[in-house]
Structure 1
């Protein structure tokens, strides 16, 4: 090996530590964004004249909150497990596989809830004349802004979960390949 290759070679342990650090950061980010969206939804109550609107009146928004609670709880559990596993040189293939599968499941749960919330927001903003649903965001402006903000934060949550799946898949690839994930230029 010549000197030029030594400068570009990174030890497998250093890459493993970097991947574990990224994993911990992303898992904390899932928790933080889930909590932020829940807090925004939690304060979304508005009274106009004599009518009050709250989350309990809209099943799609209840589903949205429950899905965010599940994602937040999942993030806490996996953050603790990932933190305990970060002391090892490299995490086990089984743990990475479990994380990848359940991270993908969380994408489905949070993504569907985000879609339900966005659909509710769209109907609230534009109404649906065929179904006889009136626009409600003209009347409950603050409530609709809270839903929009929580939906945007939840979309960020989905993106972070996709990054977690990619991180787990790449870590599995590194552990599975004989060269430790490095591309060999030997012919």
Structure 2
């Protein structure tokens, strides 16, 4: 591979490409969510700024997209590539933040499509179908980005913990028989 050099392992190549792969999904998710709006003559105007869960998803997507781009570029620099703990911790934290934003947005979409009869919330997507479709598309792109970050979290964990030996020797077959 010309960009990273010839002595780069397949795992490092996969890590680099996944980090680059996730950036357009985050950008598209942000753009679609920011431009989601619909005017309903009966109920009024509905926009991105009206929903805290949507803002949270956009905020987390922006952070994760920027970090993924930074981490992909920093893979060219050998001094940062040796800081496996830094990537491990950051990948873990961002994967969890993306999961929480995905869950919050998923709950919003569930309530928007189904409502909640116990507390007398009606289905909003009956009145705001275009808005709901755009938010659903943004959530779908966010889910793809979350899956990529989960894979990156596993890769970074493997890269950190492969350097350590097992805390004990596994029992041999003779020990297991006794």
**TM-score, scaled to structure 1:** 0.77
Residue number in structure 2 paired with 1:21:
13
How far residue 144 of structure 1 moved from its aligned partner, in angstroms, is 0.5
How far residue 57 of structure 1 moved from its aligned partner, in angstroms, is 1.1
Residue number in structure 2 paired with 1:7:
none
Gaps of 5+ in 2: 166-178
Instruction: Give the one of 150, 155, 162 matched to 1:167.
Output: 155
Residue 123 in 1 paired to residue 111 in 2?
Answer: yes
Residue 58 in 1 paired to residue 46 in 2?
Answer: no
Instruction: Give the one of 47, 65, 76 matched to 2:69.
Output: 76
Instruction: Give the one of 60, 65, 68 matched to 1:67.
Output: 60
8 Å Cα contact 2:88-2:160 kept in structure 1:
no
Residue number in structure 1 paired with 2:87:
99
SS in 1 for 2:118: coil
Residue number in structure 2 paired with 1:111:
99
Gaps of 5+ in 1: 1-12, 179-187
The CA deviation string for residues 14-43 of structure 1, in whole angstroms up to 9 with x for no partner, is 784322211111111221211111111122
Residue number in structure 1 paired with 2:26:
34
How many residues are aligned here? Answer: 160
Distance in 2, matches of 1:15 and 1:135, equals 56
Distance in 2, matches of 1:152 and 1:172, equals 31
Distance in 2, matches of 1:155 and 1:140, equals 22
8 Å Cα contact 1:24-1:83 kept in structure 2:
no
8 Å Cα contact 2:125-2:132 kept in structure 1:
yes
SS in 1 for 2:9: helix
Residue number in structure 2 paired with 1:143:
131
**TM-score, scaled to structure 2:** 0.80
Distance in 2, matches of 1:148 and 1:108, equals 21
